[in-house]
Structure 1
Amino acid sequence: MKTWVTSRWKNPCLPGQLSVEINSLPEGGGNLRARYNIAPTTEVQILIAGEREPELVSARWGLVPSWWKKPLRGMPATFNARVETADTSPMFRGAFRARRCIIPASGFFEWTGEKSDRVPHYFSAADGGLLAFAGLWERWKSPEGELITSCTIVVRDADDWMDRYHDRMPAMLHPDDFAAWLDGTAGKDVLRRPPPALQEWIVARRVNKAGAGDEDPETIAPARGV
């Protein structure tokens, strides 16, 4: 599964959909730049457990486990972690036990159709709120000594609604599970709860190119003539 996300945060405070346990960005967080086509291996914003309250940090999308000894270019695809094996896979099990995160996003993309003629679809919350993807994170020191924070999105089987488009989907957390997910006390059951109601429409094909239209809100507008 290749899920790309779009984040449209504009205000210093997170919208109400994430306000039950996460009330505001950390001090100095400032306004976050709107982005509309975020691809794997680029930077995203994640929420991790802090000493007193959740902290917002930047992370490379594509988890690099702390034990990885080779150059970054040799990493396999780790931008998604399957819920079935996230706690046992060598790539993810350490993070599943001790380093969980929430990845807020206003939507994500999936494609249908043949490889030579793929149709991009945009998915977002039916009520217009933010989605809270369950994630895992790590800190890795490169052979050159650079410290890199990275993350992955946990994915699950699609529900009946999503199954029309793809057999997998991001695992989305409900506000009453935020704290337990971040502190590690929540089990896999919270990842399999019914997701929030979603809406979908077809968007322009330029989203098939990584980063194309990342600064342009028209990237997630309904495609003309569809």
Structure 2
Amino acid sequence: MCLLYRLDSAARDIAALFDADSGPDPWVPDYVAPGKFAPVVVQGKEGRYLTPRVWGVPPPPKVAAEGGRPVHNVRNLDSPFWTGTLRHTEFRCLVPVTSFMEWGGVRGARTQHWFTVPSEPVFAFAGIWRDSEVPSFAFLTCDPNPMVAAVHDKSMPVILNPWDYGRWLTADWAEARGLVEPFPSQLMAGATAPVRRS
């Protein structure tokens, strides 16, 4: 489960890459961890724009009442808690990323493994957003590709190809669901330290 990523581009540069309005929020390149605000790209009536949201969607009310934590990674796409959000295009978003981390190794000797897409200075996870007490977002996960599975064999974020950004934001769910698949290992690179891009 991915619980840390980096976004090492400023808001203006992110907006240019995603053909979006950068908005008034000045993103400073940094780590993104659960509970932290980060920019996501949403599709409005007048085009795409960046907006800051907290990483972590509040859990269902019953789970929240029992002390459940916010949801950061969405895996069960057939859960009634997610189906309405996923089927309505206005609640989908792109989560800009420069690298993401998965823990590898055994307890007591774990190592951070960072993954990038070398051909894309900033790539995107398939995300969803919700409004509750605070504006929030989460991103989808899927089965890992061989590169990620060698470190973390349970899941990996859904990475979108640039030509699929529009489909994720606007296509009906039957089509958009087809984008939920492992990104090819041969298009990725890995390292045991975060890769920063200027």
Aligned length: 190
| Structure 1 position 190 matched with structure 2 position 179 | yes
Match among 159, 162, 165 for residue 175 of structure 1: 162
Contact 2:14 2:96 in 1 (8 A): no
TM-score by length of 1: 0.73
1:143-222 aligned within 5 A: 148-167=134-153, 168-185=155-172, 186-192=175-181, 194-195=183-184, 197-203=187-193, 220=194
1:22-101 aligned within 5 A: 22-29=18-25, 31-35=26-30, 37-64=31-58, 68=61, 74-82=67-75, 85-86=76-77, 88-98=78-88, 99-101=91-93
Contact 1:47 1:102 in 2 (8 A): yes
Unaligned runs of 5+ residues in structure 1 are 143-147, 204-219
More helix by share: 2
Deviation at 1:132, TM superposition (A): 0.6
Contact 2:6 2:32 in 1 (8 A): yes
1:141-193 alpha-carbon deviations (Å, 9 max, x no partner): x4xxxxx1111110111112222111211101112211121124233111216
1:100-150 alpha-carbon deviations (Å, 9 max, x no partner): 11000101111111121111111111235212100111011x4xxxxx111
TM-score by length of 2: 0.83
State the 4+ residue runs in structure 1 displaced beyond 4 angstroms: 69-73
| Alignment partners' CA distance in 1, 2:195 and 2:184 | 23
Task: Name the SS of the counterpart of 1:14 in structure 2.
Answer: helix
Q: 1:112 to 1:71 in 2, by over 3 A?
A: closer
Task: Name the SS of the counterpart of 1:162 in structure 2.
Answer: helix
Deviation at 1:76, TM superposition (A): 3.0
Task: Name the SS of the counterpart of 1:6 in structure 2.
Answer: strand
1:8-19 aligned within 5 A: 8-10=8-10, 12-14=12-14, 18=17
1:1-51 alpha-carbon deviations (Å, 9 max, x no partner): 1331101112613387x4xxx32433545x42010x321121111111111
| Alignment partners' CA distance in 2, 1:160 and 1:10 | 31
Query: Could you say which structure has the larger radius of gyration?
Result: 1
Unaligned runs of 5+ residues in structure 2 are none
Q: 1:195 to 1:104 in 2, by over 3 A?
A: farther
Contact 1:60 1:151 in 2 (8 A): yes
Q: 1:104 to 1:72 in 2, by over 3 A?
A: farther
Contact 1:109 1:122 in 2 (8 A): yes
Backbone CA RMSD of aligned residues: 2.6
